[in-house]
Amino acid sequence: MGIVETLIITTALAGVGGTGLGGLIGALLQKDSKRTVSLLLSFAGGVMLSVVCFDLVTEAIETNVGIWIVVGAITFGVAATYFLNYLIDRKTNPEVPHIDENHPKTADDLDELIHSDHLLEHRARQDSKLGLFVAGVVMACAIALHNVPEGMTIGASYASNNGAMGGAALVLAILIGLHNIPEGMAVSVPLISGGMARWKAVLITASSGIPTILGALLGYLLGEIGPIGLTLSLGFASGAMLYVVFGEILPQSILMYHSKLPAFSTIAGILVGLLIIF
């Protein structure tokens, strides 16, 4: 099996498989525990943070193309992800009744993070098919924002490992797959609650993980260009993941479960990440 084929299959299992499994669990149970989801997210965020800071960024620095290129690539990754999130939030938040000036500036529920509450609001108002379609596209874009950089981290790490699926690449694939399970639950539950057939909701949920594959291919192909391309790929993916962790996952996990436990769960994730890397 070729390098690209292995990368596609591995990333598909992490992206499509993880969200699909979460969608199936959501379809069967139609309930979730905010405490459990919060601790899972914060732990995954800690491991991702450890892998990004102690492996991917280190790999980018070791290409010796210049520290300012590394810093610039990370900054661009953060800025690009934030800007795309900002555009989607600006469009969707005014259309959801509970989003007002007193609401936290970050999502405090998985439904808000992927904007499935936006889709439900259109369903509740019995809007036109066009309105529902647009809401669905917005939700898909919101999911893609998280899945594309996640995939890029796998692809970039894969390229830095000379096309071998091991080390950080394999760890990230497993972590992203686990991280996508609660995200898949958050996608399928509101769709089913809105009247969609369970099998169809699970299928749509699984397909929302496809952008992970596209991100992995992009990260790998960019990394294969040469040292500069690898640095840009690793840096951009690291910056995007840093924003996802600090701007979305950790604030969301704390808002979902008001306790010190998410902090300890994050620290545990960082330590586990160190053990895996070294």
Asked if residue 201 lies in contact with residue 139, where contact means CB atoms within 8 angstroms, the answer is: no
Asked if residue 263 lies in contact with residue 48, where contact means CB atoms within 8 angstroms, the answer is: no
pLDDT at 33: 62
What whole-number distance in Å separates Cα of residue 237 and Cα of residue 52?
9
Asked if residue 250 lies in contact with residue 262, where contact means CB atoms within 8 angstroms, the answer is: yes
What whole-number distance in Å separates Cα of residue 29 and Cα of residue 31?
5
pLDDT at 150: 77
What whole-number distance in Å separates Cα of residue 34 and Cα of residue 182?
10
How far CA 261 is from CA of 254, 256, 268, in Å, comes to 9, 12, 10
What whole-number distance in Å separates Cα of residue 43 and Cα of residue 46?
5
Nearest C-alpha neighbor of 158 from the set 82, 237, 79: 237
Supply the DSSP symbol for 247.
Answer: I
What whole-number distance in Å separates Cα of residue 32 and Cα of residue 176?
19
Of the chain, the end-to-end C-alpha distance in Å amounts to 28
What whole-number distance in Å separates Cα of residue 27 and Cα of residue 5?
31
Asked if residue 59 lies in contact with residue 234, where contact means CB atoms within 8 angstroms, the answer is: yes
Q: Return the structure tokens found at 37.
A: 């989801």
pLDDT at 264: 94
How far CA 103 is from CA of 49, 93, 94, 189, in Å, comes to 27, 10, 12, 23
Supply the DSSP symbol for 33.
Answer: -
Place of tokens 């809105």: 194
pLDDT in tens, 46-71: 888 888 888 889 888 988 888 999 99
Residue 197, SS3?
coil
Where the chain has pLDDT below 70, the residues are 1-2, 29-33, 105-111, 113-116, 129-137, 139-140, 144, 161-169, 179, 182-183, 186-187, 189-191, 193-195
pLDDT at 166: 54
Nearest C-alpha neighbor of 172 from the set 41, 39, 48, 40: 48
pLDDT at 210: 86
What is the CB-side half-sphere exposure of residue 157 using CA atoms within 13 A? Answer: 30
pLDDT in tens, 252-278: 788 878 888 889 999 998 998 888 777
Q: Which residues contact 122 (CB under 8 A, 6 or more apart)?
A: 95, 131, 132, 135
Asked if residue 180 lies in contact with residue 19, where contact means CB atoms within 8 angstroms, the answer is: yes
User: What are the respective helix, strand and coil percentages of the chain, to the nearest 5?
Assistant: 80, 0, 20
pLDDT in tens, 72-95: 999 999 998 888 888 777 777 777
Vertex 113 angle, CA 138 and 44, to 5°: 130
